[in-house]
Chains A and B, each alone.
Chain A
């Protein structure tokens, strides 16, 4: 409709505060469709909060978020979410296939139960992340990397256009990290927009084509080769980072 002007995610003047302590100050962020963007910043920079604000999980004190020109509530169906692995109880009595099928719950809506079709979609997603041999495995029996793959499969099964992922590389082994990167790049190749909270500065240039530097306020955002400079990084990390490009 609006052609090249359209934004996959548009955040304008977003401020989020807990009590009166701001965790995000007046954030502006435009994410064009089809980019693989990492949000980078020190601990407590508000990276997770930004993701949650985009998803409507925390209420902003000011500002606005649009996904393809509409508020999130109207676009739930096209947004996939991968929360931090540590945010759930892995001792919950359920197995791998069941967790992945949860990704279809949104499309099913209230009351309707998952059926054969949801099962098949979940199986396909598990194949994509190389976990098809673990369908009936109790989730507490998985390694950290396997748990992360299950979470990714659960987001894939949502068949979204925009993906928001909170630290998908956290605590995973090198093989899983490679597998996840390949998957993210496949998603981008399919024209999806992927936003990833990331903490490893060393890999930003290898893995991502866009980057947002965040520390309560937005330091900079745009293509990695323009934005990921030592000046910007010093501003983000307050000189505490010993990282040279």
Chain B
């Protein structure tokens, strides 16, 4: 029983990491929609190969499906190149057509073979450990762990080898071409990887949720760093966290594992979206709040500076009357005074508010700018 849990967890983690790595480049190239298209359009490839091999994990099936994936990219780009159709419409035209060919094939021949629409769309991670790799009678673990492990290594090696090229082509394709790096080669290399990864992950999470694994962790990591290398590492970590927490939630509530993982992907994204330092919503709200108080404080010290040493200074800087001079709400005025006192920009002398050296500098600087 424990072995079963461990197997599923391992498959989920390896799948998530394998998807997150190429996903980083899709997110940066604004092509996540393409992974959605690929993940659907590989269906006819899978069905045809399944008819031929009668197995869901044969290498031929992966190759056939990956080929269909690359074909999808090619179709989309050919349509786009006519300049009569924009990219989003080209994607919208291509993948439903290919997907429906797959659906028709399944519905026509489903009586004879075991290929379930639900499993195709949503995958069934819980059954993944049942199909085991056996050599000379000894059990070496679930087949899909080996499949995804191989795909993970493939992705990792490709990205490590061509890291520099992927970075350049993604950031500045013109320069890449001018330097002789042939962006098309890198592009189709990446698309082949995405197709192979999608087919592999399809077994575990189905053709719809694989998009969550490809787009979710990189989009989350993008919020956290401004270094490409770290974005790759963070994506892998977040992918694993999504897989583990998703599995745990599924176990707790006895619901679909793939569904929980995809849901956790969104929840963790939203969480990071709020709390990440510097860029998160909370940090932004805090910065706005601080700016509001700082600005009010600046207005206060400038007001004091303007009337400093003049005959009217006594009335202008009387704490009790400040709100009238500045036309501020009395409660707000009290808070601003407290804020400025805390920051030692002003000091209190009986009923008067007096500028400190620091307060004077701030006021003078603000006026110069």
With a cutoff of 8 Å between Cβ atoms, the chain A residues found around residue B161 in the complex are 111
* Complexed CA–CA distance, A99 and B172 (Å): 10
Say how far B33's CB is from chain A's closest CB, in angstroms. 17
With a cutoff of 8 Å between Cβ atoms, the chain A residues found around residue B165 in the complex are 105, 110-111
A29 touches B (CB below 8 Å): no
* Complexed CA–CA distance, A216 and B176 (Å): 27
Q: How many residues of B contact A (CB 8 A)?
A: 27
What are 26 A-B contacts with C-beta separation under 8 Å? A19-B83, A55-B174, A55-B177, A55-B178, A76-B180, A79-B178, A83-B175, A89-B28, A89-B171, A92-B28, A92-B171, A93-B226, A94-B167, A94-B227, A102-B167, A102-B168, A105-B164, A105-B168, A106-B180, A108-B164, A110-B162, A111-B161, A111-B165, A112-B164, A138-B226, A140-B226
A76 touches B225 (CB 8 A): no
* Complexed CA–CA distance, A99 and B226 (Å): 13
Say how far A9's CB is from chain B's closest CB, in angstroms. 14
* Complexed CA–CA distance, A87 and B175 (Å): 10
B2 touches A (CB below 8 Å): no
The contact of A113 among B164, B174, B175, by CB within 8 Å, is: B164
A22 touches B (CB below 8 Å): no
A83 touches B172 (CB 8 A): yes
Most A CB atoms within 10 A — which of B165, B171, B175, B230? B175
Q: Which of A54-111 contact B (CB under 8 A)?
A: 55-57, 73, 76, 79, 81, 83, 87-89, 92-95, 99, 102, 105-106, 108, 110-111
With a cutoff of 8 Å between Cβ atoms, the chain A residues found around residue B167 in the complex are 94, 102
A95 touches B175 (CB 8 A): no
Tally of contacts, chain A with chain B, CB under 8 A: 76
Q: Mark B168-187, 1 if CB is under 8 A from A, else 0.
A: 10111011111111000000
B172 touches A87 (CB 8 A): yes
B174 touches A93 (CB 8 A): no
B295 touches A (CB below 8 Å): no
Given A89-B171, A93-B228, A111-B162, list of 8 further CB < 8 A pairs?
A: A55-B177, A73-B180, A92-B170, A92-B228, A93-B28, A94-B167, A105-B168, A106-B178
Q: Which of A31-64 contact B (CB under 8 A)?
A: 52, 55-57
A81's nearest neighbour on chain B, judged by CB, is: B178
* Complexed CA–CA distance, A76 and B177 (Å): 10
A102 touches B172 (CB 8 A): yes
* Complexed CA–CA distance, A40 and B222 (Å): 40
Most B CB atoms within 10 A — which of A106, A108, A114, A154? A106
B181 touches A105 (CB 8 A): yes
With a cutoff of 8 Å between Cβ atoms, the chain A residues found around residue B226 in the complex are 93-95, 138, 140
B175 touches A81 (CB 8 A): yes
* Complexed CA–CA distance, A89 and B170 (Å): 9
B163 touches A (CB below 8 Å): yes
With a cutoff of 8 Å between Cβ atoms, the chain A residues found around residue B179 in the complex are 76, 105-106
* Complexed CA–CA distance, A171 and B87 (Å): 30
B168 touches A81 (CB 8 A): no
Interface residues on A, range: 20 to 34
Say how far B168's CB is from chain A's closest CB, in angstroms. 6
Q: Which of B150-171 contact A (CB under 8 A)?
A: 161-165, 167-168, 170-171
B231 touches A (CB below 8 Å): yes
Say how far B237's CB is from chain A's closest CB, in angstroms. 16
* Complexed CA–CA distance, A105 and B170 (Å): 14
A107's nearest neighbour on chain B, judged by CB, is: B179
B163 touches A113 (CB 8 A): yes
A57 touches B177 (CB 8 A): yes
B180 touches A93 (CB 8 A): no
B231 touches A87 (CB 8 A): no
* Complexed CA–CA distance, A3 and B178 (Å): 28
B30's nearest neighbour on chain A, judged by CB, is: A89
With a cutoff of 8 Å between Cβ atoms, the chain A residues found around residue B178 in the complex are 55-57, 76, 79, 81, 106
The contact of A93 among B172, B176, B181, B222, by CB within 8 Å, is: B222
* Complexed CA–CA distance, A89 and B178 (Å): 18
* Complexed CA–CA distance, A39 and B66 (Å): 47
With a cutoff of 8 Å between Cβ atoms, the chain A residues found around residue B177 in the complex are 55-57
B170's nearest neighbour on chain A, judged by CB, is: A92
Most B CB atoms within 10 A — which of A56, A108, A110? A110
